[in-house]
Every structure is written in C-alpha cells, then in structure tokens.
Structure 1
Amino acid sequence: MTQPQKAIAPKFFYDKRGSELFDQICEVEEYYPTRTEIHLLKTYCRDIAQLVGQDCLLIEYGSGSSAKVRLLLDALPHLAGYMPIDISQEHMLQASAELAQSYPDLDVIAVCADYTQDFQLPPYSKKPVNHKLIFFPGSTIGNLHPQEAIHLLKQSRRLLDKGDSMLIGVDLKKDPAILNAAYNDAQGVTAAFNLNLLDRINQELNANFDLSHFHHWAFYNQDESRIEMHLVSLKEQTVIIDKTPFHFRQDETIHTENSYKYSIEEFQDMANYAGFDAQQVWTDADHLFSLHYLTISH
C-alpha cells in the first residue's frame, strides 16, 4: 500500500466470505472457465485415470470447495490419499470434512499452507504411494506473474519424483470481449468479491475503508495478455489501516489481481523450462480453456 501503485496480492481474497463469493462467481453466466474446465474433466477423466494409475496420492492446490476434485476422486482407482492445500483454513476444513463424509474410505490430509511459497509436504505413510499427482485447477496460475508462475512450477517439481505428474488448468487467449465480460458479470458478484477485500482489511487490520467510496474495475490488458482487477477510489480520501494513514487521489487504484492468459505453446514452454514434460493437453471445441498433463521423466 506504500508503493506508487498500491496493490494487494489476490491470495488475500480468500477469507470465508471471499471463498463463498468466488464459488458464486463460478456459477454466473459470463464466467466460462469453471464450467469449461468441469466439462473437460468430465470428458477426459478416464483418460487421466489411465495415465495416473493406482495408489495415487492426489494433492490439490487451492482446493476451495473441492467441487472439481470429486470428478477425479470418482475416476481414480484405489487412491492412496487426498491432500487438499489451501490458504483459507476455515473454508478448506469445512470442505474437507464434507468430502470425508462423501468418501468414507478416503484418507483426507488437509494442509493449510500458501502453495505459492516454498513448503514441504507433510509426512504421509498410511498407504503405499505409487504416484503423486498435483491437481491445480481454475487457471489460478494465471494470477501469478509469469516469473512467479515458473517459480511455482519449479517448487512443484521439487515436491515430485520421477514418474509423478501435475494436472493444471490454464485459461487461453481469446476475444477480449469474452474476457472482459467474464470479470464484469451483470450480477455484480465479481465486484462484491473484489470489494470484500476492503471489508476483510477493516475487520482484521482495524481499518476504516468506506466501501461505497470504491468501485470494481476489471479490463483486459492486451499488451500484457492479462486481465487486471483494481479497486478505484471515487474521491480524494485518507484511509487508516492499523493507525497508519494512506492517502488516495480521486481515481487512484489498488491493483488486486492479474489473470494472465496463455497460448498452449506458451504454457508448455514455461512448463518445460521448469522441468516438466508436457505429455498431454485437452481443450474445448471453442478453444476457451486448456487442461495440461505434465510429467517428470528425469
């Protein structure tokens, strides 16, 4: 907040309310990524299961409500266990408990961690693990600058051994009109999601943001191949965060999220640079979204 361009990392969207709002975003008509990725998982889950094999430890980054992973849980035979990793502890634990009830024979090992930072998997030895698969859906990797995305892929590579794999959703480059609509839904759910960040700061950091003095702004930056989300100050104002004043000019913004879009070739080059082999990619008929199966061969 002290930088010339004020910014807050998008991982802080996901308190309980933020996680609930994101689940609602995934249901709005304009937001194509979730339904397209679910379609790909439903269509190709058997192919994925054949590539993975038995006795797999399924590790999910940013598990959230765990809706998509159920498609894999139903398809993968004789799982060694399921390890959801999420920064939003309360939301993750609730989802993990519901998942454990739905799959009583599945060992669920919930981990509260920031997967964008270096971390180690907790010890796991209840069942023999023949294969580790990291599942990273939602094109969340697009929220990272390309260099940060490469760092995450390299960090993931270090968690895996030869023969292990990663299944990752990546949003594709497309008509900017489709992208702009997806992040400016008519119901205003994305706007509420963005503004909730200020409400969270008020509650947790003793701040006094007036949400009516800010508005949601999202647009596709063609030069950077990314959607940018901002919160725009509607007036000149000063906000106090934990006794520290922060001044805003009228129309000054807080940059809250990027969502980079890639071609299939661009992402595969990135994965190869990070130490993965791009083994398989699936995409929909409209070429909106891609699902990449990456492997470790050395």
Structure 2
Amino acid sequence: MALEQAVRIVDEDASGIDRAFRDDVLKGLSQVQKAVPARWFYDARGSRLFEDITRTPEYYPTRAETEILRAAGVEFLSRVGAGRAVVEFGSGSSAKTPLLLEAIAPAAYVPIDISGDFLRESAESLAQAFPDLATFPIEADFTKPVTLPAAVAGMPRLGFFPGSTIGNLVPRTAVDLLRQMRDTLGNDGSGQACAQLLIGMDRIKDPDILIAAYDDKGGVTAAFNRNLLTRINNELGGDLPVDKFVHRAVWNDDIARIEMHLEAVEPLQFSICEQSFFMAKGETIHTENSHKYDRRSAAALLLAGGWTPITRWTDGDERFMVILAEASPLRTAP
C-alpha cells in the first residue's frame, strides 16, 4: 500500500484548541449578523453527515457530478493526460474521486482536508482501491498556504475541487482561494506543463429545487447544521443549547445563493471560551452560503482567480457543471 502517514498542519494552543477555529467562532459570534465559516462543519461527525446528505433524494449535486465524471472519463484523459499529481482540496469521497483517478492514471495523489479523522479514513480507503498509487494525505486548512510533498516536485499537477465547494465562499474569498490554489499547484518546473484545475460548480435553477436540496425532509441537513454547535461545545468548552436552534435554508435571489442559518427559537445566553453571548428570539447564526453560477459568472470567477476555462461538461439535466481550467499566465496589461 503506497500510503504515506498524514502530514498535520494545524495551529493549536497549549490546551490543544485549534486557534483558527476558536478565533473564527469568537469573532463571528461577536458580529451584528452572527456567522461561523462553513469549513468548520467538517469534524469527523460533520464529514459523515455530509456524506449522508449526498445520498438524500433531494440533494442532486453529487449525483449530477458523478454522472459527469462517469461520462467524461475518456475526455479527461485526453485533456489532462496521464502522470499528473492529483491534489484534491477536500478529502476524496468514495464515489467521485475514484472515477477521476481511474480515468487519468495519475502519478501521485495528495488529498488535503481540515478533518484529520475523515482524511485518514478516505485516504486509507482510496489506497486500498489504488495500491500502486503513491498517496500523501495532508491535514490542513486548504484556504491557507499549503506546501506539497517533496515527492511530487517536478510533476505536473491537477487540482481537483469537486462538489461545488467553491460556492460556499463569497466571491472575494472565492477568488482569493482560487489564487491560493494556483500558487499551491504551481507548475512542474519545466515550463512545459501548466497546472490545471478540475472544479465543480452548481448551476442556477428553480429555487424550490435548491431549497429542498438544503432542507431535506429527513432532517439530515438540519443535523449537519446543528452539529457545528455540538463541535463548538465539545472543542471550545461552549454551552450552546443545541436543541434551542432550528435549521433554516433560504434562497437569496439578488446574489444567487442558498443561505443556511441556525435560528434561536427563544432568547438565549451562552458562553464559549469564557466569553458570553446573547441571542434574541429569531436571531440567526449564518453558517453557510452556496452560490450558484451560470456559464458566464463561472468563467468570470475563474478568470479573476488566475484560471482560464478550457472545457465545460454538464449532466443530462444541466443541473451541474464541471470545468477544466488552466493556470493563466500572469499579465500586467490587457
């Protein structure tokens, strides 16, 4: 099994608390519109709950993207070529990542994820499925600079960012992340093979379909949303009354995004890291955005982030798109 031990890049204080998690939570809950970045959903339980979400009848993105990955395998190989190092931003799922790895015969696989337990589980599963593929898991926040393993130096790189995770970020932050990915992937050092990025983006569609996808009848998304509060209690010594919050999903048409919130059902007072907070009845914690794109807005976002779209694929119902882009040459003029 060609699986290296996971490299861990997490900034913890003396008590083992993730400083970035603590700072984001305390800062976010001190704002007028309380908010916590969506990346903190993904502890081990949150990651498993998200996998459960992808199997709900209402959540179409995973099925649509999987359809694309199954259908476009031959095209991926012709466009990407064999022998690249695949760098996945977010641990690979059991459904989608193998389809890409099978299609393009990579030289190495580098999954990067903020949830160490889920990262190790998924990396071990993929290593068993691809025993000859060198795998180098990295436990880190991929929105920050990440140094790739020395073993992939000199290899052309393909970034893989499925699942429309880019939609969780407001445009300014999304552009920053795309630029960060460009810097992380770089090129192979020869000047002959530019870095590429294969990215999933969800398309704008009927709001009723969108809302249902983020508020399934079985309550899995609601459990996923509230698990963030449980994580805060467990890891930051909080005492949030989890059962006093309800899950809300709303469509914001002005900026083409689904918003997820946790709404207080009564006046609440709680503490986190010995800092006190108050919420009025009906006040919310904004926990996630999921921006939706059309062809032009997707291209504009990628170009702003330093990537030139090359090819775009959609599923049969045109609900979702996967775009292959290439690192754009740095320019100082039109």
TM above 0.5, yes or no, is: yes
Q: Which amino acid aligns with 1:140?
A: T
1:3 maps to 2:31: yes
In 1, the alpha carbon distance for the partners of 2:94 and 2:114 equals: 14
Q: What secondary structure sits across from 1:200 in the alignment?
A: helix
CA deviation vs aligned residue, 1:7-32 (integer Å, no higher than 9, x gap): 10110000010000000000000000
CA deviation vs aligned residue, 1:11-57 (integer Å, no higher than 9, x gap): 00000100000000000000000000000000001101111112110
Pick closer, same or farther for the CA change 1:250–1:297 going to 2, 3 Å: closer
Pick closer, same or farther for the CA change 1:125–1:12 going to 2, 3 Å: closer
In 2, the alpha carbon distance for the partners of 1:54 and 1:76 equals: 5
Q: 2:52 is matched with which residue?
A: 24
Q: Which amino acid aligns with 1:160?
A: G
In 2, the alpha carbon distance for the partners of 1:255 and 1:124 equals: 40
How far the C-alpha of 1:286 sits from its partner, in A, is: 2.0
In 1, the alpha carbon distance for the partners of 2:275 and 2:305 equals: 40
Q: Is the 8 A contact 2:91 2:118 kept in 1?
A: no
Q: What secondary structure sits across from 2:151 in the alignment?
A: coil
1:136 maps to 2:161: yes
1:160 aligns with one of 186, 189, 204: 186
1:149 maps to 2:174: yes
Q: Is the 8 A contact 1:19 1:64 kept in 2?
A: no
Q: 1:265 is matched with which residue?
A: 296
How far the C-alpha of 1:64 sits from its partner, in A, is: 4.7
1:33 aligns with one of 61, 66, 72: 61
How far the C-alpha of 1:245 sits from its partner, in A, is: 1.3
Q: 1:124 is matched with which residue?
A: 151
Pick closer, same or farther for the CA change 1:251–1:110 going to 2, 3 Å: same
Identity %: 44
Pick closer, same or farther for the CA change 1:296–1:207 going to 2, 3 Å: closer
Q: Which amino acid aligns with 2:147?
A: Q
Q: Is the 8 A contact 2:35 2:285 kept in 1?
A: yes
Q: Is the 8 A contact 2:92 2:123 kept in 1?
A: no
CA deviation vs aligned residue, 1:90-134 (integer Å, no higher than 9, x gap): 1101111121122110100001111112333232258x62x2100
Pick closer, same or farther for the CA change 1:73–1:189 going to 2, 3 Å: same
Q: 2:123 is matched with which residue?
A: 96
How far the C-alpha of 1:69 sits from its partner, in A, is: 0.8
Aligned residues: 295
Q: What secondary structure sits across from 1:124 in the alignment?
A: helix
Q: 2:9 is matched with which residue?
A: none
Q: Which amino acid aligns with 1:17?
A: R
In 2, the alpha carbon distance for the partners of 1:118 and 1:33 equals: 28
Q: Which amino acid aligns with 2:181?
A: S
1:220 maps to 2:251: yes
CA deviation vs aligned residue, 1:155-214 (integer Å, no higher than 9, x gap): 112222252210000001111111011001000000000000111111111111122111
In 1, the alpha carbon distance for the partners of 2:310 and 2:296 equals: 13
Q: What secondary structure sits across from 1:135 in the alignment?
A: strand
Q: What secondary structure sits across from 1:91 in the alignment?
A: helix
In 1, the alpha carbon distance for the partners of 2:117 and 2:166 equals: 22
Q: How does 1:1-298 map to 2 (within 5 A)?
A: 1-77=29-105, 79-125=106-152, 129=155, 131-158=156-183, 159-161=185-187, 162-296=193-327, 298=329
CA deviation vs aligned residue, 1:212-240 (integer Å, no higher than 9, x gap): 11100011110121100000000011012
In 1, the alpha carbon distance for the partners of 2:225 and 2:256 equals: 21
TM-score by length of 1: 0.96
Pick closer, same or farther for the CA change 1:276–1:33 going to 2, 3 Å: same
TM-score by length of 2: 0.85
How far the C-alpha of 1:66 sits from its partner, in A, is: 4.5
How far the C-alpha of 1:65 sits from its partner, in A, is: 3.4
In 1, the alpha carbon distance for the partners of 2:90 and 2:272 equals: 28
Q: Is the 8 A contact 2:314 2:321 kept in 1?
A: yes
Which 5+ residue runs of structure 2 have no aligned equivalent?
1-28, 188-192, 330-334
How far the C-alpha of 1:242 sits from its partner, in A, is: 2.0
Pick closer, same or farther for the CA change 1:73–1:64 going to 2, 3 Å: closer
Q: Is the 8 A contact 2:66 2:95 kept in 1?
A: no
Which 5+ residue runs of structure 1 have no aligned equivalent?
none
CA deviation vs aligned residue, 1:244-264 (integer Å, no higher than 9, x gap): 211110001000000111111
In 2, the alpha carbon distance for the partners of 1:291 and 1:201 equals: 34
